[in-house]
Amino acid sequence: MRMKNRNKSSVVLPQKLSNDSILQQPNSYEGESLLHLLNSIQREIKLARLSDESLPHKIWLKFSIGVNDVTRVLERMPPLHGSLSSPTESSNAKMSPLHLQAILIATDCNPRSLTKHLPSLASSRGVSVIFVKDNKGGSFKLGEIVNLKTAMAIGVKARGNAINKVIAEILGDNDIVGP
């Protein structure tokens, strides 16, 4: 018998990250801890709405909602010292003084490539990442926070308010960044 394509070389592809490897990170919430996290954020939003009548119409002042908006804000933030940055990134960073304290990412989004870039971009900017998992319902849970049907990513803007204090307690931070 004759062997065809004997000279074919084998290619070893890098292994993809499984859902389990992402969810084993310390800032991954599911089950009771997820409910506690979301309830505390929603409680602070309700308190802010009671104290400020304009908040229901201006929820985006406290949050960056959606993958595109979170990405845009992260790209405009200055990178941490020691990170490689392009001239485009440094000119974008000068335009916006807005900073994110943390981003919440739903792990159930499909396709996963929509949010795949966010953890590395956030770490280059020194922003904490919180993964939300709820058996194909993480994006629904995030949407409930901002009164939308779904949200794959939400950025918490660092404004020094009560919502930032709750996120700081969850992350174990002592410093709350704000203007």
pLDDT digits (tens), the chain, 179 positions: 555 544 443 333 333 334 443 334 557 776 777 778 788 888 877 777 777 655 555 666 788 999 999 999 999 999 887 555 555 554 544 555 789 999 999 988 888 889 999 999 999 999 999 998 887 788 898 888 888 899 999 999 988 777 888 888 888 864 444 44
Report yes or no on 5 lying in a domain. Answer: no
Report yes or no on 129 lying in a domain. Answer: yes
Report yes or no on 2 lying in a domain. Answer: no
Is 105 in contact with 119 (CB distance < 8 Å)? yes
What pLDDT, on a 0 to 100 scale, did the predictor assign at position 6?
Answer: 46
Report yes or no on 7 lying in a domain. Answer: no
Report yes or no on 90 lying in a domain. Answer: yes
CB contact burial 77-116 (16+ within 10 A = b; e otherwise): bbbeeeeeeeeebeebbeeeeebbbbbbbbbbbeeeebbe
Which residues constitute the domain of residue 48?
A: 27-171
* Helix (H/G/I), strand (E/B), else coil: 107: coil
In single-letter form, the type of residue at position 110 comes to N
Query: For the chain, how many structural domains are there in total?
Result: 1
The CATH number of residue 136's host domain is 3.30.1330.30
The pLDDT tens digits for 128-163 are 999 988 877 888 988 888 888 999 999 999 887 778
Query: What's the whole-model pTM score?
Result: 0.69
Report yes or no on 22 lying in a domain. Answer: no
Report yes or no on 135 lying in a domain. Answer: yes
Cross-sheet strand order for the sheet of 28-29: 28-29, 128-132, 100-106, 153-157, 63-65
Report yes or no on 12 lying in a domain. Answer: no
Under DSSP, the state recorded for 149 is S
In single-letter form, the type of residue at position 16 comes to K
The residues near 91 (Cβ < 8 Å, ≥ 6 apart) are none
